[in-house]
Structure 1
Amino acid sequence: MKKMSRAALVGAAAVSSVVLVSAPAFAHVSVQPEGEAAKGDYAVVDFKVPNERDDAATTKVEVNFPTEHPLASVMPEPVPGWKADVTKTKLDKPMEMHGEKITEAVSKVTWTATGSGKDKGVQPGYFQKFPVSIGQLPTDTDQLVFKALQTYDNKQVVRWIEPQQKGQEEPEFPAPALELSAASDDGHGASGASDDGAKKESAAAATDSGGSSSDTTARTLGIVGIVVGAAGVAFGVLAGRRRTNS
Structure 2
Amino acid sequence: MSFVRRAATVLAATAALTAGLALPALAHVTIQPGTAEQGAFTKVAFRVPNERDNASTTKIEVSFPADHPLAFVSVKPVPGWAVKVTESKLATPVKTEYGDLEEAVTTVVWSGGKINPGEFQEFEVSMGQLPKDTDRLLFPTKQTYSNGEVVDWSEAPKADGTEPEHPAPLLKLVPAAASSPSASPSTAAAAASPVATSVVLNPAASDGTARLLGGAGLVVGVIGVVVGALGLRRRSA
Normalising by structure 1, what TM-score?
0.71
Alpha-carbon spacing, 1:152–1:14, altered in 2? closer, same or farther (3 Å): same
Residue 62 of structure 1 is matched in structure 2 by 61
**Deviation string for 1:29-64 (max 9, x for gaps)?**
001238x62111110011110111111111111111
For the pair 1:41 / 2:40, whether they are aligned, the reply is yes
Report the Cα distance in structure 1 between the residues aligned to 2:118 and 2:185, rounded to whole angstroms: 48
Which letter maps to 2:148?
K
Report the Cα distance in structure 1 between the residues aligned to 2:184 and 2:24, rounded to whole angstroms: 47
RMSD: 2.6
Residue 112 of structure 2 is matched in structure 1 by 113
Secondary structure of the structure 2 residue equivalent to 1:105: strand
For the pair 1:183 / 2:180, whether they are aligned, the reply is no
Report the Cα distance in structure 2 between the residues aligned to 1:199 and 1:30, rounded to whole angstroms: 46
Which letter maps to 2:133?
D
Report the Cα distance in structure 1 between the residues aligned to 2:185 and 2:158, rounded to whole angstroms: 45
Residue 203 of structure 1 is matched in structure 2 by 189
For the pair 1:160 / 2:157, whether they are aligned, the reply is no
Alpha-carbon spacing, 1:199–1:108, altered in 2? closer, same or farther (3 Å): farther
Give the 5 Å matches for 1:1-246.
1-33=1-33, 37-114=36-113, 121-184=114-177, 190=179, 193=180, 197=183, 201=187, 203-204=189-190
Gaps of 5+ in 2: 197-237
Aligned length: 196
**TM-superposed deviation, 1:110:** 0.6
More helix by share: 1
Report the Cα distance in structure 2 between the residues aligned to 1:198 and 1:49, rounded to whole angstroms: 47
Do the aligned residues in 2 keep the contact of 1:60 with 1:112 (CA within 8 Å)?
A: yes
Report the Cα distance in structure 2 between the residues aligned to 1:198 and 1:180, rounded to whole angstroms: 32
**TM-superposed deviation, 1:89:** 1.3
Do the aligned residues in 2 keep the contact of 1:72 with 1:102 (CA within 8 Å)?
A: yes
Alpha-carbon spacing, 1:198–1:112, altered in 2? closer, same or farther (3 Å): farther
